Amino acid sequence: MKWYVAALMVVMPLAADDSGLPADGKFRASATAGLEEAYLAPIFPSSHAANLLELKNGDLLCAWFSGSWEGESDVAIVLARLRKGSSQWSKPMVIDHHTGESYQNPVLFESADGTIWIFHTTQGAGQGESNAKVLVTRSTDGGERWSAPAVLFDTPGAFTRERLVVMPDGRWLLPLYISADNSSVMEISGDGGAHWKVCTVPESKGYIQPDVVRVGNEYIAWFRSRAADFIYRSTSADGCAWTAPRKTELPNNNASIQLAQLSNGHLVLAFNNKSKAGLRRPVSVALSKDGGASWGWVRDLETGRAVLDPGKDPNRRDPGREEYSYPSVIQAAGGKIVVAFTYRRETIRVVRFDEKWIESGGTVGEFQPHR
């Protein structure tokens, strides 16, 4: 197999948040009690779509796509590492880039043999998403060197976003969506990713980026809605035959969401607590203690600027706009919940806290918990 060493780029001048914390990748105590935060060092002007993975050795990885702007030819997949026991994220390294292509939505996975996989989407620069396909690259040395990217799924418009699920019998389930018609599918492999079987989600047109969690003996998928109304939900007994998505009481603003199942079985959902298109804020976390049937606690991680710059469009197509979105959430081995999300398209903000922290705060968003 052909390998290459991922390049380490020169870090741009550090950005800072409104409290003056530098984007240097170091965890610091937040002004909010019980919350630690780090702003990852940007190496290109724009950053988006973080994805987290804790390795078996205790290191934490965060991958995202970065370049001048989404869809442009200079957009690469980049990766930063937080070594076990450290409070300092590494400078990001470029994992995958090819002139003329624009890379998006990396998904990290570590297989049983220790191989680290990155699934991500590629599309022709400036050509939109309708002909996108999914690539895969691998590392067998802990993420120091990576294989040349190979096409995994060439269905026109195939897109990644959410994590791979290892099923009880060892099969892999990788959620995908097809941007060409805005529908969702599940790809299932029984031989470690060599071959895949596609399972469609019925009546899923308009419901994309499915995030799958196994709760008890049932698989549950939660979807982003193109209609910018609610988060939708579907279930399956085997991971292949799915019910049609149905709306939940949780709002969605046509932006990505993600869930994590905690060691005690509770679910944490990271999402924008609002419906309707517009500014992607606030970023919030919701807690469910009954498998997602209800959400009794919601707390904001980021509400955005209190006063918008009157001279600028906050949705402008450049870094610095008023956007806090595409969260990724996991529970680390020590019990802390970790969330990474897009911060103004300039960098990735990573926060960590415990479950009780969610229960001791509130939200300015649309969904208000009822217990």
- Structure confidence by residue, pLDDT tens digits, 176-192: 999 999 999 999 999 99
Answer yes or no: is pLDDT of 13 > 50: no
* pLDDT mean over 227-255: 98
Q: How far apart are alpha carbons 151 and 137 in whole angstroms?
A: 9
Q: What is the pLDDT of residue 370?
A: 78
pTM: 0.95
* pLDDT bracket for residue 237 (50, 70, 90): very high
Q: How far apart are alpha carbons 241 and 293 in whole angstroms?
A: 21
Which CATH fold would you assign to the domain 1-12+36-160? Neuraminidase (2.120.10)
Q: Which helix (H) or strand (E) holds 358?
A: helix 355-359
Answer yes or no: is pLDDT of 104 > 70: yes
Label residue 100 exposed, middle or buried (CB < 10 Å: 0-12, 13-18, 19+): exposed
* pLDDT bracket for residue 21 (50, 70, 90): confident
The number of beta carbons lying within 10 Å of the beta carbon of residue 249 is 10
* pLDDT mean over 277-299: 97
Q: How far apart are alpha carbons 253 and 225 in whole angstroms?
A: 7
Beta bridge partners of 230: 251
Q: Under 8 Å CB-to-CB from 192, ≥6 apart: which residues?
A: 111, 172
User: Which whole-number Å values give the CA distances from 178 to 24, 35, 158, 189, 205, in the listed order?
Assistant: 36, 37, 5, 18, 9
Answer yes or no: is pLDDT of 210 > 50: yes
Q: Under 8 Å CB-to-CB from 141, ≥6 apart: which residues?
A: none
Average pLDDT, the chain: 94
Q: Where are the domains of the chain?
A: 1-12+36-160
Q: What is the pLDDT of residue 310?
A: 86
Over its C-alpha atoms, the chain yields an Rg (Å, rounded) of 19
Q: In this predicted model, which residue has the larger pLDDT, 309 or 340?
A: 340
* pLDDT mean over 89-113: 96
Percent of the chain with pLDDT over 90: 92
Q: How far apart are alpha carbons 352 and 94 in whole angstroms?
A: 25
